[in-house]
Structures are given as C-alpha cells and as structure tokens.
C-alpha cells in the first residue's frame, strides 16, 4: 500500500498521551499508522523574522511529523486574513462579514507555495497526498507546478457554499481552478457536493457526470478530470460509548450532578465562533423560560465555549455579545439558589465532556451553518441507551442529513427552538429510546473508521481522468 502524506494547517500534538484532540486528529493518526507516512503542516508557532526555515522532523515509529513555523506577516495574511476573514465567513454564508484584500490573498498563495516547496523533497513517487481544509486549497496546484505527479486528494471540513454566495469572492474562478488540481475532492454532505457541481456547470460550463449517491460526481473542468464525493466525517463511536459509561463515575461528572440538585440539564459545547448560533441559542433558552415558566428553577443550561481565533475582530465581538447576553438573561430569571445559564469559556478533556453529555437531558446544537458538527454525534453516542437524552439539532448542520431522528430546528426561529426544547424536556421514554436507537445505527455503521477508509480507498483509485 502506498504511503500516506497528510497535510493540514495544524498538526496534532505529537505526544499521543495529550491527545484531547478532536476526531480529525484521531482519524488521521489511525490512517497514518496503517500505511506509515508523514503529517505535514504548521507547528502553531509564530516567529518574528521573515526567513524561511526547513521543516522540523520528529519520527515516531513509521510516522514522521514535519512542521514549519509561520512568520508574523504570514500568520496575519494567510491564517487570520484570507483563511479566517475571507474564506471562513464566505463558506459559512456570511457574505456581509468577508474582508476582501489583494494583500491577504497574495499571502494565502505565498504560504501555500512555501509549504509546497518544503514538502516536495520529502515526497516519494508512489505517495498519496491528502490535504485538509480551506487553509490549503491551492496546495495541490502548487505541488503540481513543482512537478509532482502523485495522487492528491483534498477534504473540505466546512460547508461548500452555493454558487450565488461563492461568486462574492473576487477571483473565485482561480480558487476553484486550484481545487480542481486535486484528483479527489471530498465534502461532508451531498448538499455541499451539489453546490460544487452547480458552480462547475453554471460558472465554468464544465461537465458533471453523476455516478449515483455513493459514487460521487466526475468533474471535467480546466482540462482535468477529478472525482468529487460526499464523505460525512464521524466519530469513534464504540470508543466513545465506552468512555461515556465509565465517565459517569468521574469526579467532574459527580460534581456536575450534585450541583444540579435534581434539576434537568441542557448542554451546548462549541468553539466560540459566530457560525455556531450562540446568541440565538441563548435567546431560545430565555424564550423557553418566558413561555414555559414551569422550567424556572427546574432546568439549567450549561454552555461550554472555549475562545478561538482571538486575533480576529468578529471573534472579539461575539465573545463580548455572549457575556452581555448571559448576564442579562441570568439577571432576569436567576433565583438566589439557581443560575439559569452556566456559561464557561474553557475546554474540557474528552472524558469529562463525555460525562457531561451523558448527564444532560438535552443536547442543544444550533449552528447557523456547520460543515458537519461532531458535537451532535458525540452527544448521541454518550447517552445511556436505556434512558437517553434528546438531541435538538439545526437543519443547517451537516449532521442533520444523517441524524434526522433528532428534533430538527431552524436556529434563526427562536420561538421554534424554544418549543423544541419544551418537547425535548417532556418527551416520553419510548420515543426518546426509538430516536436514539435510530441515530446510533447510523453512527455505528458510519463511524470515523468508515470515513477514513472510504476516503483513502477512493484516493487509491485515482487518477480518475
């Protein structure tokens, strides 16, 4: 089997003991261990000087981690700039938030070129290169321009927007040409795949051959042929079920249970990001208390939201907004012995989170747009099958395509989300069990191992032209 070379903006911590890292890191590591290979990307370190260094290499068994630092200018233009202030809002349908600047687009291209330059000497002719996420769309073309002929795949972890949204980006055609340099392009859902195919047809007059639901679509554009297909990312289901069972005995979970003194719990867990719909979620909980006052002093809402991308102005603004909103709602409803919203800006380990999920009667996952949303899947996997909680899930999360036995909501409709919370809190046990069992069947047959294997298998079959 060919060696796998994974390229992502950030490389997971090398110390596996510390792997609180998410599903992606676990999946990528499992794939790399199977075939041996390289994990290449940014070290996470920003250095003040401009000079380009050689990758730092660490070998762990058959696996090599190769990381590069970013200069301050590269970090500002590539990471904070084009990736997180242009592509991220654009791909999440927030056209009003996009920053358009030739300087950051240049910086994005420059860093992709620099990364490609440094990877080329590490590649062997038979390697397969698997590139992750919106930071690195031009990476494959940069490799090809340097003479690389290896099989190359790309996986997008965000949504792919409808063409009408994408064309708000100046030079959108160039970005899609860069994407078409890969042999395989993977998306989370058929909705994303269809948006991509629509763009190819409408904007490029390209040709699309639909090979059916599991076969993906063959794309003919820019003189190349590639396969585009949906590969819904997932979680390590069995492993998480096991962790959640034992997590109930952990000190943190016990403390959480004791603090509730018999009250019910609604939980939300998200990176602090404007795509996650947190202000609307807080307002929906407020609406629940206002419309169904029987829940006052009987239900608590725990929102865990560690800050991310703190150098980007929109993230500073959302953090402030949420502090104010939680303060106002708590001021309105709190009693001397009950605080309605417990809002925490910090992270927890996987085991602690698993215990929290299992303790919660409702998992509230209401992004305004999300590629997949692994928290929704984790919440379901952590439930006690004999007395499961209820998932309330945004229709705009990729996960809603598979987890259609959740209570599906429109996160913009605050009154409807409040009603769904009411329904979740009063749902009879047989219905809860039935919905949970249906979702677990999907999470068991389509776990993270399935995702990794089906992607790598499709890449092995490249080229498609």
| Interface positions with ligand ADQ (CB under 6 A) | 22-24, 157-158, 233, 269-271, 304, 306, 347-348, 353, 370-375, 378
Cβ of residue 54: shortest distance to ligand ADQ, in angstroms?
A: 30
Place of tokens 């600047």: 101
Cβ of residue 157: shortest distance to ligand ADQ, in angstroms?
A: 4
The residue among 55 and 232 lying less far from ligand ADQ, judged by its C-beta, is 232
In the chain, % helix, strand, coil (3-state, to 5) comes to 50, 20, 30
Report residue 378 CA to chain centroid gap.
Answer: 13
Task: Write down the catalytic residue from 92, 132, 135, 157.
Answer: 157
Residue 251 contacts residue 208 (beta carbons within 8 Å)? no
Partner residues linked to 448 by β-bridges: none
Cβ of residue 83: shortest distance to ligand ADQ, in angstroms?
A: 13
Place of tokens 């290979």: 37
Cβ of residue 166: shortest distance to ligand ADQ, in angstroms?
A: 18
The residue among 175 and 365 lying less far from ligand ADQ, judged by its C-beta, is 365
Within 8 A by CB and 6+ apart from 312, the residues are 80, 84, 85
Q: How would you classify the pairing of strands 299-304 and 341-344?
A: parallel
The residue among 9 and 287 lying less far from ligand ADQ, judged by its C-beta, is 9
The rounded distance, in Å, linking the Cα atoms of 86 and 171 is 12
The length of the chain, given as a count of residues: 465
Cβ of residue 351: shortest distance to ligand ADQ, in angstroms?
A: 10
- Phi and psi dihedrals of 388, rounded to 5? -80, 155
157 is catalytic: yes
Cβ of residue 308: shortest distance to ligand ADQ, in angstroms?
A: 8
Cβ of residue 235: shortest distance to ligand ADQ, in angstroms?
A: 7
Q: How would you classify the pairing of strands 4-10 and 37-47?
A: parallel
236 is catalytic: no
Cβ of residue 269: shortest distance to ligand ADQ, in angstroms?
A: 5
Cβ of residue 103: shortest distance to ligand ADQ, in angstroms?
A: 26
The residue among 326 and 373 lying less far from ligand ADQ, judged by its C-beta, is 373
The residue among 294 and 311 lying less far from ligand ADQ, judged by its C-beta, is 311
Residue 196 contacts residue 160 (beta carbons within 8 Å)? yes
Residue 299 contacts residue 341 (beta carbons within 8 Å)? no
Partner residues linked to 109 by β-bridges: none
Within 8 A by CB and 6+ apart from 69, the residues are 42, 43, 45, 46, 47, 53
The residue among 333 and 357 lying less far from ligand ADQ, judged by its C-beta, is 357
The rounded distance, in Å, linking the Cα atoms of 39 and 28 is 9
The residue among 109 and 446 lying less far from ligand ADQ, judged by its C-beta, is 446
The residue among 102 and 251 lying less far from ligand ADQ, judged by its C-beta, is 251
DSSP string of 159-220, one letter each residue? ----HHHHTTSTTHHHHHHHHTTSSEEEESSHHHHHHHHHHHHHHH--EEEE--TTT-EEEE
The rounded distance, in Å, linking the Cα atoms of 63 and 59 is 6
Neighbours of 377 (CB within 10 A): 28
SS (H, E, C) 308-322: CCCCCHHHHHHHHHH
Any idea what DSSP says for residue 363? Answer: E
Partner residues linked to 394 by β-bridges: 409
Helix (H, G, I), strand (E, B) or coil at 360: coil
The residue among 242 and 465 lying less far from ligand ADQ, judged by its C-beta, is 242
The rounded distance, in Å, linking the Cα atoms of 366 and 375 is 11
Task: Write down the catalytic residue from 74, 192, 270, 370.
Answer: 370
Catalytic residues: 157, 370
């Amino acid at each position: 089997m060919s060696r796998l070379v994974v390229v992502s903006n950030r490389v997971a911590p090398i110390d596996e003991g510390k792997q609180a890292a998410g599903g992606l890191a676990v999946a990528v590591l499992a794939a790399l261990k199977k075939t041996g290979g390289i994990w290449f990307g940014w070290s996470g370190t920003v250095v003040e000087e401009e000079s380009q260094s050689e990758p730092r290499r660490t070998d762990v068994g058959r696996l090599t981690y190769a990381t590069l630092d970013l200069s301050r200018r590269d970090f500002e233009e590539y990471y904070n700039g084009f990736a997180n202030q242009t592509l991220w809002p654009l791909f999440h349908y927030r056209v009003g938030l996009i920053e358009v600047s030739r300087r950051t687009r240049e910086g994005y291209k420059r860093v992709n070129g620099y990364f490609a330059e440094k990877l080329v000497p590490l590649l062997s002719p038979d390697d397969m290169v698997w590139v992750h996420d919106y930071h690195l769309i031009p990476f494959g073309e940069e490799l090809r321009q340097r003479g690389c002929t290896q099989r190359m795949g790309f996986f997008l972890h965000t949504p792919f927007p409808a063409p009408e949204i994408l064309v708000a980006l100046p030079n959108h055609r160039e970005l899609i040409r860069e994407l078409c340099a890969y042999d395989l392009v993977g998306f989370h859902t058929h909705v994303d795949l269809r948006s991509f195919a629509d763009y190819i047809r409408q904007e490029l007059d390209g040709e699309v051959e639909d090979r059916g639901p599991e076969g993906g679509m063959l794309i003919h554009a820019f003189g190349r042929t590639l396969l585009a297909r949906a590969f819904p990312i997932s979680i390590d289901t069995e492993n998480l079920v096991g962790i959640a069972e034992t997590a109930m005995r952990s000190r943190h979970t016990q403390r959480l249970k004791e603090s509730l003194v018999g009250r019910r719990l609604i939980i939300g867990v998200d990176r602090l990001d404007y795509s996650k719909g947190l202000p609307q979620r807080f307002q929906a909980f407020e609406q629940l208390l206002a419309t169904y006052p029987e829940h006052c002093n009987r239900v608590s809402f725990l929102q865990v939201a560690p800050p991310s991308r703190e150098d980007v102005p929109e993230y500073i603004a959302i953090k402030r907004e949420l502090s104010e909103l939680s303060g106002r709602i708590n001021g309105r409803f709190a009693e001397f012995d009950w605080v309605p919203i417990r809002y925490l800006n910090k992270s927890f380990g996987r085991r602690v989170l698993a215990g929290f999920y299992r303790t919660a009667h409702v998992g509230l996952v209401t992004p305004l747009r999300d590629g997949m949303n692994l928290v929704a899947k984790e919440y379901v996997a952590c439930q006690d099958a004999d007395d499961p909680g209820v998932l309330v899930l945004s229709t705009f999360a990729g996960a809603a395509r598979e987890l259609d036995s959740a209570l599906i909501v429109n996160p913009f409709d605050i009154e409807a989300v409040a009603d769904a919370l009411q329904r979740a809190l009063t749902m009879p046990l047989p219905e809860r069990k039935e919905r949970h069992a249906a979702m677990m069947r999907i999470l068991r047959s389509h776990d993270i191992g399935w995702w990794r294997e089906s992607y790598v298998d499709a890449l092995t079959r490249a080229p498609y032209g």
